[in-house]
Structure 1
Amino acid sequence: MSNPVAQACSFLFVPATHSERLPKALASGADMVIADWEDAVAPADKPAARNTLLQAVALLDAAQRARVLVRINAEGTPWFADDLAALGQLVAQGLAGAVVPKAERVATLQAVAQAAGPQAALLALVESVAGLDAVDALAQAPQVARLAFGHLDFQVDAGMACGADEAELLPMRMATVLAARRAGMAAPIDGVTVDTQSPDRMTHDAERARRMGFGGKLCIHPAQVPLLHAAFDPDEAAVARAQRVQQALREAGGGVCVLDGRMVDAPVLLQAEQTLRQHARARQRHAGR
């Protein structure tokens, strides 16, 4: 559990121009907070956003800084080079790393990693057809701890018009999950739920992400964080079942056995162990807040 980016489930965005929101976001219960220099900041405010974040980070303690990522502007924009320079300063102060938008090339991730320093973790945001095409290479780029699927920008790039259930995006979501698995990295992060007024929609999206093999979601409002955790953290019944599976296999000497009329074998044990690891992380989250 030494890498907070790899272990995190909830990633809460906050505009970097609003320094007062950063401590509040950290106190929201989110595992990680993403200070945003990209979509949340108007072009004229980009330089001020860098300075504001540098000043805000100076007021945080070490544990808080380790839970903050910064989303830089994409390569090819006028702000990319200056963002990299400021990113290096932030990581030197203890920030966890960077979210890299419009990730499409390994060379881009290498440039960000070099600017940020070897201790920085990168989250590669797949938001385009080209990014999805290169997803296996992106997953194996240096210092990339997680992949994330930016489904809103992806729809625009692909010329898609998705229905409310976003069924059209299931193949792209699955491709991202499988790429992370092939790379042997932590499960990827699903995109945001834009409806901040509907708890049911957030719960639906979070449960879909969990079922598909994602490890969490990006959030845009603090109220979404507990709903996300409720969908991903195992409940008491699931934990008790996992413990019983472990016990049954121990009593069977590690072989196949039957529990409550159902066969229990190695895959069932692995699933139980995963449930217990998720439960341990949930307990750690509650203990640390």
Structure 2
Amino acid sequence: MAAAAPDVPGARSGPLAAAVTWLFVPAARPDRFAKALRSGADAVILDLEDSVSAADKDAAREALATAWPADAGTPGTPAVAVRVNGLNSAEFAADAAACRALRPAAVVLPKAESAHDVRSAAEAVAAPVLPLIESARGLVDLRDIAGCPESARLLFGTVDLALDLGVTADAALDTARGDLVRWSAACALPPPVDGVTTALRDADTATRDAARAREWGFGGKLCVHPAQVQPVAAAFAPGAAELEWAREVLALEHEGAAARDGEMIDRPVVERARRILLRAGQSGPGQG
């Protein structure tokens, strides 16, 4: 009998929902697990898929089991997820068994292409699912994937999607970015997580890519090297001028449709200001 689907709504409002920086670590490299947890990343994804060769899959699952972070899930530590191999791969059943034993915060499902894929993975692993959207088929069924109760948050697989679409310019993926943001909002999911920056140690590129993702409405970014974590976090954090603007807007909140320096202050503007302060861990006037 299949396991019952997990209580995903809790995952939608907990550490997975708030995570900004998501660091991939090959599951075949248990020597890197502790370093990843100390990297400052909000979430760590132990990877059984692309970063592990076919010959090393069994060894990676064994390493995952023997070196699983003992404090995973405790307050003050990153959320720990596992990227399994694809649902139709020969490795998925063994990956699912490993995840059921380890109880990660979630599993990342590569090439998620339907709500059926998400539900099947959730039942197999007994954990929330983070669908990785990285194919044209996944984009076509994005509405159903985002609306699936077992989906905790959407992740964007930019490299594989570019390959599937046959495009080379990152800007060619902007339509897909908009789709992920719109369907996440429409289905009450947290803002999606943008794809990786392949320039491993180029902090400027990571910063620029993260800032652009934030402008598109993403709430975080996948990282493939610890050196990317802090630049990405800084790019998503509100700046001093933005915080000052938000505090001033909230100070005018109870004056109706007021104005600040010629800018109309109405309900959507107030809500944007409130979200900026929440993201920075602050509160507005009269809110403690």
Instruction: Name the TM-score, length of structure 1 as normaliser.
Output: 0.89
| 3-state DSSP of counterpart to 1:193 | coil
Paired with 2:22 and 2:257, the residues of 1 have a C-alpha distance of 39
Residue 192 (structure 2) pairs with residue 188 (structure 1)? yes
Paired with 1:35 and 1:10, the residues of 2 have a C-alpha distance of 14
**Structure 1 position 246, deviation (Å):** 0.7
1:76 paired residue number: 88
Q: Does the 8 Å CA contact 1:66/1:96 hold for their aligned counterparts? A: no
C-alpha change, 1:167 and 1:62, in structure 2 (3 Å) is closer
Q: Which runs of 5+ in 2 are unaligned?
A: 1-11, 283-288
Q: Does the 8 Å CA contact 1:188/1:215 hold for their aligned counterparts? A: yes
Q: Does the 8 Å CA contact 1:14/1:34 hold for their aligned counterparts? A: yes
Structure 2: which amino acid aligns with 1:73? N
**Structure 1 position 79, deviation (Å):** 0.3
C-alpha change, 1:62 and 1:157, in structure 2 (3 Å) is closer
C-alpha change, 1:65 and 1:240, in structure 2 (3 Å) is closer
**Structure 1 position 240, deviation (Å):** 2.1
Q: Does the 8 Å CA contact 2:153/2:192 hold for their aligned counterparts? A: yes
Identity %: 41
Instruction: Name the TM-score, length of structure 2 as normaliser.
Output: 0.90
2:233 paired residue number: 229
Paired with 1:232 and 1:197, the residues of 2 have a C-alpha distance of 18
Q: Which runs of 5+ in 1 are unaligned?
A: 282-289
Paired with 1:56 and 1:62, the residues of 2 have a C-alpha distance of 15
C-alpha change, 1:66 and 1:194, in structure 2 (3 Å) is closer
1:73-113 deviation digits (Å, cap 9, x = unpaired): 0122110111111111111xxx2010000000222211211
**Structure 1 position 236, deviation (Å):** 2.5
**Structure 1 position 61, deviation (Å):** 5.0
Residue 27 (structure 2) pairs with residue 16 (structure 1)? yes
C-alpha change, 1:144 and 1:259, in structure 2 (3 Å) is same
2:62 paired residue number: 51
Q: Does the 8 Å CA contact 1:256/1:265 hold for their aligned counterparts? A: yes
Task: After the TM superposition, list the runs of 4 or more consecutive aligned residues in structure 1 that deviate by more than 3 angstroms.
Answer: 58-62
Q: Does the 8 Å CA contact 2:42/2:78 hold for their aligned counterparts? A: no
Paired with 1:2 and 1:149, the residues of 2 have a C-alpha distance of 19
Q: Does the 8 Å CA contact 2:72/2:79 hold for their aligned counterparts? A: no
| 3-state DSSP of counterpart to 2:122 | helix
Deviates more, 1:224-233 or 1:104-113: 104-113
Structure 2: which amino acid aligns with 1:231? A
1:286 paired residue number: none
